[in-house]
Copies of this chain bind each other. A is one copy, B any other.
Amino acid sequence: MRVTLLGTGTSQGVPMIACDCEVCQSSDPKDHRFRCSAWVQSDDLSILIDTTPDLRSQALRAGIRHLDAVVCTHAHNDHLIGFDDLRRFCDRNRPPLSVYCSSETHERLLTVFPYAFQEDNSPYNSYVRAQAHVFDGPFELGALRFVPVLVPHGRTLTHGFILEENGIRHLAYIPDCAALTESMTEALRDIPVLIIDGLRDKPHPTHMNVPAALAAACTVRAGTTYLTHLTHDISHAQRSPLLPENVFLAYDGLVLDFPT
């Protein structure tokens, strides 16, 4: 299984529009962050987690040729609004693209992109055409098993996912998270790889900051941790050396390979 992080930035991305700060002006590609999403490949399966506003640019950069399914963490704009750019992965001669989401995300998708879910949504071939699968527990795609983990995120809840392949528990992907709950602690215990919301050093009401993410990683005894959903307060070159040895800043394009 291979996981490619397509974006590791917070809701406005980095650089932010019209910002003169050191990180937004940085020439280090690791300081350039599209909105958060991840691409999972396993055998011939190709699965996208979240459809950010940057989806087209991300798919072009990563060279995504096809998708078998899309998995949604939650309905916030920065994780969902690029949904229409899935049209390139749809084909009228194939079944609609499977979209795994919570009922809340499904509702938002039906509000914003109703045409995508209509039986015969267009006389043309090029519209996005999706089939929603509302999950209320783990679901399987080929050799992969996605275990949703309910995560607090301010006034709403999001889903993180534990990814297993052929029964082996590889990693957890939790891009938006305000705090570690007891049920999360139990689900994530001894996870080999944890990709989790680290945002910035200052506290935030709906996201964990770096110290909170480090504490969470420690509590669940994660093997290796990658901090994602980062703001322009985080300079990759300056902040990386200050992290514990098994914790890293995620960056756009980071590829993680897991033995099958």
Contacts and interface: CB of A to CB of B under 8 A. Distances in A.
Interface in A19-71: 19, 53-57, 59-60, 64-66
Interface string A62-86: 0011100000000001100110110
Contacts of A126: 12
Q: What's the number of copies of this chain in the assembled complex? A: 2
A242 interface: no
Interface string A93-132: 0000000000000000001100000000000001000000
Interface centre among A54, A64, A85, A89 (most CB of B within 10 A): A85
Interface centre among A78, A81, A111 (most CB of B within 10 A): A81
A175 interface: no
A84 B78 CA distance: 9
Contacts of A152: none
27 contacts: A12-B56, A12-B87, A12-B88, A16-B88, A17-B56, A17-B59, A17-B60, A17-B64, A17-B89, A18-B59, A18-B64, A18-B65, A18-B88, A18-B89, A53-B53, A53-B55, A53-B56, A53-B81, A53-B82, A53-B84, A53-B85, A54-B57, A57-B57, A77-B84, A81-B84, A111-B111, A112-B112
A15 interface: yes
A17 B60 CA distance: 6
Which 7 pairs from chain A and chain B are nearest by CB? A17-B88, A17-B59, A77-B84, A18-B65, A112-B112, A13-B56, A18-B88
A78 B83 CA distance: 12
A44 to B, nearest CB: 15
Given A17-B59, A17-B85, A77-B84, 18 more contacts: A12-B85, A12-B87, A12-B126, A13-B56, A15-B60, A17-B56, A17-B88, A18-B59, A18-B65, A18-B89, A19-B88, A53-B55, A53-B81, A53-B82, A54-B57, A78-B84, A81-B81, A112-B112
A15 B65 CA distance: 13
Contacts of A64: 17-18
